[in-house]
């Protein structure tokens, strides 16, 4: 009796499904391409033109600095799997990278994604990559590569993980690192779209503790959306709004610091961009906390300080600016579609965040 010949499919990896997935995502990837992307789709590596060409770049970088970030979506993907909604976490993945990248004053250039999954389903992969492409278009960058790894020995049936890597460029003399922060600078906060992509281990613990149903509509949150849909609202991408303000000031530098409010909340992120000579004094009454956070706090019986330490609480991005420019920059951001709060000012201190 002849011994059975083993194939890759017998080990749980389906090459044909992978090829089918690639065919499905081509269109989504190509719609993020601009004239800077070189080469054909499906190459071994993505190529992106960086040298100056007046027809491609709006301005020349005299002393360009490449800025890069890598991040993932975290356990929010578990909720996406439970809800069967896979076309939003891709935007989350882009946002977690790009929102970090622009903090340094960089312009996003390109993005690459990584999907680790139990079993490749071309339809599911298309939905995930569609979300990534949507995020790239919102960020103004190109999706030039990625990897999908079918790993049945690592991921449980139905599970997947999503991570990404981004690259941007900034002018050396205009890189923003917080060293220029001064007493009197104004703290502007931009509204978040919800929980964003941090704290979902706590969110899932609250769901269990409060015996909440993700498929139920809770009118105090949204009369038309299920709880799971509210929690899957994608992370807001601030890139185009922020870059538009940065480009307005070719010589002046009115922005002294910026911060992406992720895990650690306002206290654990604003402090990362302060000099050691100032404190950020933030008025907690200067913005309204969205209902989703009050809902989670109530049903999880979570301490107020813990909420502030884990979640963004309605403020997703911070821009610290010179007082003379505060009103103008706020107006520019609002014109770009942002909801902006004047949260407070910088005072003499030692690099702390004071929430009063």
* pLDDT (0 to 100) of residue 18: 61
User: If pLDDT is split at 50, 70 and 90, which confidence band does 11 have?
Assistant: low
Q: What is the mean pLDDT of residues 5-19?
A: 64
Domain enclosing residue 120, as ranges: 9-43+58-174
* pLDDT (0 to 100) of residue 42: 60
Question: Do both 20 and 167 map to the same domain?
Answer: yes
Q: Which residue among 109, 139, 174 closes a domain?
A: 174
Domain membership flag for residue 50: no
Question: Do both 144 and 193 map to the same domain?
Answer: no
Question: Do both 221 and 191 map to the same domain?
Answer: yes
Domain membership flag for residue 227: yes
* pLDDT (0 to 100) of residue 33: 75
Does the pLDDT value for residue 15 go beyond 70? no
Question: Do both 169 and 199 map to the same domain?
Answer: no
If one counts the domains in the chain, the total is 2
Q: What is the mean pLDDT of residues 151-158?
A: 93
User: If pLDDT is split at 50, 70 and 90, which confidence band does 28 have?
Assistant: confident
Q: What global pTM score does this model have?
A: 0.91
DSSP per residue over 333-352, as a string?
HHHTT--EEEEEEEEESSS-
Q: What is the mean pLDDT of residues 314-342?
A: 98
Domain membership flag for residue 51: no
Host H or E run for residue 354: strand 353-355
Question: Do both 168 and 316 map to the same domain?
Answer: no
DSSP per residue over 14-41, as a string?
-HHHHHHHHHHHHHHHHTT--TTEES-T
Question: Do both 267 and 291 map to the same domain?
Answer: yes
Question: Do both 129 and 90 map to the same domain?
Answer: yes
Domain membership flag for residue 257: yes
* pLDDT (0 to 100) of residue 38: 72
Strands 255-260 and 160-171: unpaired
**What are the pLDDT digits (tens) for 218-256?**
999 999 999 999 999 999 999 999 999 999 998 899 999
Question: Do both 161 and 23 map to the same domain?
Answer: yes
Domain membership flag for residue 181: no
What CATH number is given to the structural domain containing 350? 3.90.650.10
Map residue 182 onto helix, strand or coil.
coil
Q: What is the mean pLDDT of residues 344-350?
A: 97
What CATH number is given to the structural domain containing 164? 3.30.1330.10
Question: Do both 112 and 199 map to the same domain?
Answer: no
* pLDDT (0 to 100) of residue 30: 75
Mean pLDDT estimate for the chain: 91
- State the Cα–Cα distance between residues 128 and 121, nearest whole angstrom: 11
Domain membership flag for residue 272: yes
Question: Do both 227 and 158 map to the same domain?
Answer: no
Q: Which residue among 116, 140, 174 closes a domain?
A: 174
User: How would you write 66-130 as a 3-class SS string?
Assistant: EEEEEEECCCHHHHHHHHCCCCCHHHHHHHHHHHHHHHHCCEEEEEEEEEEECCCCHHHHHHHHH
The mean-pLDDT minimum among 48-57, 93-102, 125-134, 346-355 falls in: 48-57
Domain membership flag for residue 3: no
* pLDDT (0 to 100) of residue 34: 77
Question: Do both 218 and 167 map to the same domain?
Answer: no
Question: Do both 103 and 161 map to the same domain?
Answer: yes
């Amino acid at each position: 009796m002849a011994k059975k010949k083993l194939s890759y499919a017998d080990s749980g990896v389906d090459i044909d499904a992978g090829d089918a997935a690639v065919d499905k995502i081509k269109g989504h990837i190509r719609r993020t391409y601009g004239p800077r992307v070189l080469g054909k789709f499906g190459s071994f590596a993505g190529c992106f033109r960086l040298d100056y060409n007046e027809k491609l770049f709006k301005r020349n970088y005299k002393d360009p600095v490449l800025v890069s970030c890598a991040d993932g979506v975290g356990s929010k993907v578990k909720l996406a799997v439970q809800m069967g909604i896979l076309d939003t976490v891709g935007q989350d993945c882009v946002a977690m990278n790009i929102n970090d990248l622009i903090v340094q004053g960089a312009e996003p250039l390109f993005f690459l994604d990584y999907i680790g999954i139990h079993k490749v389903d071309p339809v599911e992969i298309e939905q995930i990559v569609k979300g990534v492409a949507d995020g790239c278009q919102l960020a103004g960058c190109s999706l030039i590569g990625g990897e999908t790894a079918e790993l049945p020995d690592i991921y449980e049936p139905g599970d997947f993980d999503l991570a990404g890597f981004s690259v941007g460029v900034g002018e050396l003399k205009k890189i923003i690192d917080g060293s220029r922060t001064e007493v009197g600078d104004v703290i502007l906060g931009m509204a978040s779209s919800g929980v964003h992509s941090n704290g979902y281990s706590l969110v899932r613990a609250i769901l269990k503790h409060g015996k909440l149903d993700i498929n139920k509509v809770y009118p105090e949150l949204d009369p038309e959306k299920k709880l799971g849909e509210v929690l899957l609202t994608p992370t807001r991408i601030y890139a185009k709004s922020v870059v538009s303000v940065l480009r307005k000031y070719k010589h002046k530098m009115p922005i002294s610091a910026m911060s992406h409010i992720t895990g650690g909340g306002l206290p654990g992120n604003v402090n990362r961009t302060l000099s050691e000579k100032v404190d950020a004094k933030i008025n907690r009454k200067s913005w309204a906390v969205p209902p989703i956070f009050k809902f989670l706090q109530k049903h999880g019986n979570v301490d107020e300080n813990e909420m502030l330490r884990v979640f963004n609480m309605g403020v997703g991005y911070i821009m610290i600016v010179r007082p003379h420019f505060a009103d103008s920059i706020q107006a520019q951001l609002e014109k770009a579609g942002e909801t902006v709060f004047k949260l407070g000012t910088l005072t003499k201190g030692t690099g702390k965040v004071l929430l009063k």
